[in-house]
Amino acid sequence: MTEPSVTDSQPMRKQNIPNETTVLVVEDNVSNFVLIARMLGYLGIHCEWKTSGYEVVEYADTLPHLNLILMDINMPGADGYALTARIKATPGFASVPIVAVTANVMRGDREKSLEAGCDGYIQKPIDIDILSQQIERFLARQSND
């Protein structure tokens, strides 16, 4: 059996990713969102997009069931760390894993993300392989719970 190529139009759903998986991408940069959305689409994962964490809290009751949140930490007028804490405190979101996606790559930044309530950390520029692996790992962990 041959692996599908990147040019195949059909999504390549991994066995450990549950059907009807939804990932929320909180990202103010359109180019970053498009990159992430294309990768999620390739994995057969539906994604939602909000440009700020405030939108997540404000419209929490209108969002579908979420399996994972990818949170940009540096957004204009917003602190991704504080937004992570607010999202985790929002009813229905406490158990949703949040992965920080950030350009903050100095010593201690990963730990700061985890202390703020993030469950994972991915640095920018985004490495598609690392992003894909982390998403698969969190979704597999969630489906085993």
Number of structural domains the chain divides into: 1
Largest CA distance in the chain: 50
Q: Is residue 83 part of a domain?
A: yes
> For the whole model, what pTM was predicted?
0.83
Q: Is residue 55 part of a domain?
A: no
- The whole domain housing 80 covers 69-117+127-145
Strand order in the sheet with 22-26: 46-50, 22-26, 68-72, 98-102, 120-123
Q: Using DSSP, state whether 13 is helix, strand or coil.
A: coil
Q: Is residue 94 part of a domain?
A: yes
* pLDDT tens column, 91-103: 888 889 999 998 8
pLDDT of residue 4: 46
Measured distance CA(122)–CA(7) in Å, rounded: 26
Q: Is residue 38 part of a domain?
A: no
CATH of the domain at 96: 3.40.50.2300
| Per-residue confidence band for 105, with pLDDT thresholds at 50, 70 and 90 | confident
Q: Tell me phi and psi for residue 109, to 5 degrees.
A: -70, -40
